[in-house]
Amino acid sequence: MSISKPETPGAAHDIGCILHRDSKRLDAALNHEPGTARIEVQCLLQSVLQVNRAYLLTHLERILSDDETAHYNALFQRRINGEPIAYLLGTREFYGLEFKVTPATLIPRPDTELLVELALQRIPQRGKCRILDMGTGSGAIALAIAHERADAEVVAVDASDAALDVARENAQRLNLGNVRLLHSDWFASLEGERFDIIVSNPPYIESDDVHLGQGDVRFEPLSALASGSDGLDDIRRIVANAKKHLTPAGWLMFEHGYDQADRVRQLLQDAGFSGVASWRDLSGIERVTIGQA
C-alpha cells in the first residue's frame, strides 16, 4: 500500500493554491483577524513576483518557478515564526506614503496618523513654521508632515544612527528637501533652537510589560518601546525640557499608552502647559495628548 507524501511548502503550486493553502496555515499559526492571513500571503507573493494585486488575482493559475518558490517559502516561514510582515516586505504605508522600514525602526501604525493630523491642524498651509519630531525612527511622522506642508521647516532627531539612515533614505525617496535629520538624545543637540510645534511618538511601554515578548514588538527595537517601570520616563524628559525649545504659545504633542492619558495630562499641567487635552485613536482610546506653552 502506498502512502501519499504530506504536502510541503516547497511543492510546486500555482498562485491560487498557494493563497488557499497558506492563508489557512498562517491563520492557524498566528490567529489572525478574518481575512488578514490571505492579505499577508498576497503581499508576500506580490513581493516575490514583483507584481501588483490586480495581476496576482487575475493570474491565479500561474505556477511559481523553483527560485520564486524558494524565495516565497523562506519569507513565509519567517512570517509563520512571527516576524512582522513589514520587515519581510521592507516597507509600510503611513499617511498615504510608502516608507522603508527595518528592524532598526519601529513599524509605523495607523493610530499614529492621529498625531500627524493634530499637528497639521496647527500648521498653516502657507508660510513658515518650525516643527520638531523627536525619536523619528523611520521618519514617518516628520516626513508625512513635511510632505503635507512644503513651506514648513521640519527637524527630526533620533539617538539611533541606524534609524537615521533609514529616515534619510525615506526623505530622499520622497524627494523632501524641507527636512533636517539630526543625531540627538532628545534635546541634547538642539541647544538654542525653538520650534512652533514639537511632536513625538516616544517609548512608552512599561519595561516589564509582558506584551514586549508577544507579537510584532518582539522584533522591534526595545529602546524605541520601553521607558522605565511605568513607561513614562522619556515622556517626563520631554515635558521637562520642551518649554525651552518652544516658541510662545507653541504646541507639544505626543503619542502615549492606552492607559496613560490621565498621568500625561497631569505631567503637562504640572509643567505649566495650557489647553491640555487628549484625543482618541481609531479604537476610541485616548492616544495623543497635547498642550500649549
Report pLDDT for 205. 76
pTM exceeding 0.85: yes
Residues 212 and 114 in one domain: yes
Residues 257 and 119 in one domain: yes
Number of domains observed in the structure of the chain = 2
Q: Could you tell me which residues come within 8 angstroms of residue 277 by beta carbon, excluding any fewer than 6 positions away?
A: 265, 289, 290, 291
89 within a domain of the structure (yes/no)? no
CA atoms within 13 A on the CB side of 280: 4
8 within a domain of the structure (yes/no)? no
CATH of the domain at 29: 1.10.8
User: CA 120 from chain center: how many Å?
Assistant: 18
C-alpha cell at 190: 538642539
Residues 114 and 186 in one domain: yes
Residues 257 and 129 in one domain: yes
Please check the confidence at residue 167 and state whether its pLDDT lies above 60.
Answer: yes
Please check the confidence at residue 253 and state whether its pLDDT lies above 50.
Answer: yes
pLDDT digits 0-9 by tens, 50-89: 999 999 989 999 999 999 999 999 999 999 988 999 999 9
21 within a domain of the structure (yes/no)? yes
Residues 57 and 113 in one domain: no
Residues 69 and 114 in one domain: no
- The whole domain housing 190 covers 105-292
